[in-house]
Amino acid sequence: MRKDFINEAKIMSLSRLLLALTCITFAVLAEADERIRIVGSSNVLSFVQPVAEHFARNWDDPTPSLEITGTGAGFQLFCEGLGMQHPDVIAAIRPITERERKLCAKHGVTNITEIEFGRDAVVLVHSKKKTSINLTRRQLFTALAARTPSDGKIRKNSISRWSDIDSSLPKTKITVMTPEPNTIAALAFHELVMVEGCKTYQALDALEKAEREKICRSLRRDNHVVNSAKREDVTIGWVEDDDSRHAITSFTNYMIYSDKLDASLIEGVEPTYETISNQRYPLVTGLYVYVKDQHKQHLPNLQNFLYELTSERALAPEGYLAEDGLVTLDDIGRNKARDMVLEFGM
């Protein structure tokens, strides 16, 4: 029942986002000076959209404009400078990088507030007809990497069954579909699974940084690793067709299809709303907004927008963002988000 509700909520959320983008195209120029401009990831903007609607209604301010640019391109726009012609906020599926901070500083964007307002996670899903397995990040890296350490050398990955990695694992063929590039699941998969799993091999420490990074991030190009199907329904059908198949996706997408799929345990922890919210599950990633502090001088309503974003009516486990499928922060996370908003106002 929760799955049906989230599925419907997600569709409604995306519909609202598209409607808002259409309305923004015809927004009157008179409001341009007061309208907050937000760029970034469609995944994150789908949750920012209801916040924008509540903000306009509760604070009597113009509805912020939302532009789907993706996270990388969004940071590029965000860091290009200060003033009305540049975005005020970016909605991101990952933290800002050091390179992006330097780009911002180069163009005078020196004071930036980071607010994590929600969470998601990477999950390894399989058909309900199959019993869930418990995997470590090291085992996942070993199964999926193009090259792995073996007998003191770096060799092409020849492992074919899960049991080849550990005798306690099933004697079934390794077949995993990777997530679509530039999504929450894809970025988090590479950082939290591949890179972290790679770090457990001390044999790689002696390599040059560039070579080690290449080994950590390179996936197999054989029939054990399958490229994304791009459409979730196709991915689900592919997994259901064969009990030995797995797919990597986000927890949000998994919940939509939880009547057909189960998720593997990672290092003994099942992915649930609770274990992702409190970060017990190892493969948790954040949803972020970054705000230009220097823009509050000509946009004083930025503060009110952040108050709405971090309000209990938005972020509480029973709040309107949870109704749209957001994995909400725990008490510590929500208090930290509000502290960042208070600092922004100082």
**19-33 pLDDT per residue, tens:** 555 455 444 444 556
Q: Considering the chain, what percentage of its residues have pLDDT values greater than 70?
A: 90
- Taking 80 as the threshold, does the pLDDT of residue 2 lie above it? no
CA angle, residues 333, 335, 336, in degrees to nearest 5: 65
- Taking 80 as the threshold, does the pLDDT of residue 7 lie above it? no
- Taking 80 as the threshold, does the pLDDT of residue 10 lie above it? no
- Taking 60 as the threshold, does the pLDDT of residue 17 lie above it? no
Q: What is the pLDDT of residue 13?
A: 58
pLDDT in tens, 234-266: 898 999 999 999 999 999 999 999 999 999 999
Computed over every residue of the chain, the mean pLDDT equals 90
Spatial separation of the C-alpha atoms in residues 142 and 144, rounded to whole Å = 6
Q: What is the pLDDT of residue 25?
A: 46
Q: What is the pLDDT of residue 150?
A: 85
How confident is residue 270, by pLDDT bands cut at 50, 70 and 90?
very high
pLDDT in tens, 303-336: 999 999 999 999 999 999 999 999 999 999 999 9
Give whole-number Cα distances, 97 to 68, 101, 103, 231, 344, in Å.
20, 6, 10, 29, 20
Q: Which residue has the higher pLDDT, 30 or 113?
A: 113
Q: What is the pLDDT of residue 254?
A: 94
- The DSSP bridge pattern shows strands 134-135 and 147-150 to be unpaired
Residue 137 · residue 282 · CB < 8 Å: yes
Q: What is the pLDDT of residue 14?
A: 56
Q: What is the pLDDT of residue 26?
A: 42
Residue carrying structure tokens 């003191």: 152
Q: What is the pLDDT of residue 27?
A: 45
| Identity of residue 156 | K
Assigned token pair, 237:
């059908």
pLDDT in tens, 114-166: 999 999 999 999 999 888 899 999 999 999 999 999 887 899 999 999 999 99
Tell me yes or no: is domain 121-284 CATH 3.40.50.300. no
Question: Considering the domain 2-120+285-344 in this protein, what is its CATH number?
Answer: 3.40.190.10
- Taking 60 as the threshold, does the pLDDT of residue 4 lie above it? no
- Using CA atoms of 90, 81, 302, 36 in order, give the dihedral in degrees to the nearest 10: -70
Q: Which residue has the higher pLDDT, 344 or 346?
A: 344
Residue carrying structure tokens 């049906």: 4
Which residue intervals of the chain bear CATH 3.40.190.10? 2-120+285-344, 121-284
pLDDT in tens, 152-196: 789 999 999 999 999 999 999 999 999 988 888 999 999 999 999
152: exposed, middle or buried (C-beta count within 10 Å: 0-12, 13-18, 19+)?
A: exposed
How confident is residue 233, by pLDDT bands cut at 50, 70 and 90?
confident
